[in-house]
Structure 1
Amino acid sequence: MELGLAGRVALIAGGSSGLGLAVAEELAKEGAHVAIGARDPEKLARAERRLKELGRGQVLATEVDLKNPEAVRHWVEDVAGRMGALHIAVTNSGGPPPGPATKFGVEAYREAVDAVLLPPISLALAALPHMQQARWGRLLFITSETVVRPVARFALSGFSRLGIVGFASALVQELGDCGVTVNVLAPGYTRTPPVERTAGAGGDVDSGLRAMAAHIPLRRVGLPEEFAAAAAFLASERASFITGTVQLVDGGASVIG
């Protein structure tokens, strides 16, 4: 299926590893020009090489502190200036520490807001003027299944990421008449390095992954490329009438709780 992504300019926060890199790879394969930003220069360099091997579009890799709104704004303007436009923005931030709600004090909740909620907001606010000018845009927020299926031991994640859903919902109502769609992606357990580390906490990664899969109807954890395929579709021309959704990519885990 032709997604109509060739020549589009996509910016992916946290695009040097994990789900962010998987999305960048999928968009590059579809012919998009891809700009990734993250903090680790070594991971960025590896990701840049990988993306150049996969795609036929331009690739930019930038070291950026995604928690610094001014740095994010400068990054967005640099990408739009060098690539000539900005059509797609994918926000992505790491998760806060696990634990139940009463484990944490107010300061931990404030830190979760600073680390998880505000970076996607600052990126969206910087990117949207370019999409509005083009009268075409795709804004994707990567969150977690905890925004749909609260998990007691991930209280900070659910709290901070639900704020992203609220922000996205407000944008949907504001941007509908200028060709910009806004959607939230909510992955479940997906085989990324953080999930593998969690699975291996008991000593054996495969056993840990099987234990995770026991609560998933498909009886396995997801693959990054499966998540990326959903993201690429929502970023495409084919998804032009899809906006305001929270798209679960969790193998059905939310159905059984």
Structure 2
Amino acid sequence: MDLGLNGKVAVVSGGSSGIGLAITRDLVREGATVSIAGRDAGRLAKARDEIAADLGAEVGTRVLDLRDTGAARAWVDDTAAEHGAVNIVVSNAGGPPAGPTGAFGPDGYRDAVDLGMISHIGFVQAALPHLQRAGWGRILIVASETIRDIIPKYALSAIARSGLAAYAKTLVHELGPGDVTVNVLAPGYTATDALLSGLDGDVEAETVRIAEQADIPLGRVARPEEVAAAGTFLLSARASFVTGTVQVVDGGRSLGM
């Protein structure tokens, strides 16, 4: 299936591992030019080298923290200057720590909102003029299933990220007619480094245990590439009439309509 991404230029934050890296690989396979950013220079270099070896393509890299809006804007501007445009924005950042509402004071909430909402908005705002100038754009904000279905032990995630759905839906109406779409990807339990690093013993058995405890009907956690597949479709030309949505990828766990 041709997704219509050949020749498009993409910036992917958090692109050195997990879901961000899986989306990057999909975009490269589809012929897009991609620049990835993250906080760890070593992980970025590793991702760049693996993509070059596996897919025969070069990706750009930029070391930055998405909370640094000025650095994010400079990255987008530099990418547009180098490649002539920016068409695709994948805003992906780490999540806040787990815990119930009472486990955190006001500063903890401020930090969570800064990372889980404000950093995404700042990045999108930096890139939006380039997408509008190009006349074709796709914005994908990677959040969490906690937007749609509250998980009490991940209180900060739900509180900090829920505003992203409102932002995306509001932005769609402000953009009006054209070919720039905005969607939110809301993954559930996924076998990323963040999840796997906290496991002891047999990893496969532990992820099955997590799935059982979380009551995931499919009986396992997601693979990053499975979540990425949904995200990549939302970034494609074929998804031209899909905008303002929250796409949950959770193996059927959530019961909300």
Same fold, judged at TM 0.5 (above) = yes
| Residues 148 and 256, structure 2, Cα contact 8 Å, conserved in 1 | no
Residue identity opposite 2:190 in structure 1: T
**Partner residue in 2 for 1:6:** 6
Cα distance, 1:176 vs structure 2: 3.1
Q: Distance in 2 between matches of 1:59 and 1:84?
A: 15
| Residues 29 and 56, structure 1, Cα contact 8 Å, conserved in 2 | no
**Counterpart selection for 1:205 from 196, 200, 203:** 203
**Partner residue in 2 for 1:94:** 94
Q: Deviations over 1:103-133 (max 9, x none)?
A: 2111110111122211111110011001111
Aligned residue-pair number: 255
| Residues 211 and 221, structure 2, Cα contact 8 Å, conserved in 1 | yes
Unmatched runs of 5 consecutive residues or more in structure 2: none
Q: Distance in 1 between matches of 2:231 and 2:174?
A: 22
**Partner residue in 2 for 1:153:** 153
| Residues 146 and 157, structure 2, Cα contact 8 Å, conserved in 1 | yes
Q: Residues 1-257 of structure 1 correspond to what in structure 2 (within 5 A)? A: 1-55=1-55, 58-198=58-198, 200=199, 203-214=201-212, 215-255=215-255
Q: Please, what TM-score do these two structures have when normalized by structure 2?
A: 0.95
Q: Distance in 2 between matches of 1:197 and 1:40?
A: 16
Q: Deviations over 1:31-54 (max 9, x none)?
A: 110110111111111111122234
| Residues 217 and 252, structure 1, Cα contact 8 Å, conserved in 2 | yes
Deviates more, 1:146-155 or 1:212-221: 212-221
Runs of at least 4 residues off by over 3 Å: 53-58
> Structure 1's 132 and 54: CA in aligned 2 closer, same or farther, altered over 3 A?
farther
Report the secondary structure of 1:253's partner residue: coil
Q: Please, what TM-score do these two structures have when normalized by structure 1?
A: 0.95
Task: Provide the aligned C-alpha RMSD in A.
Answer: 1.6
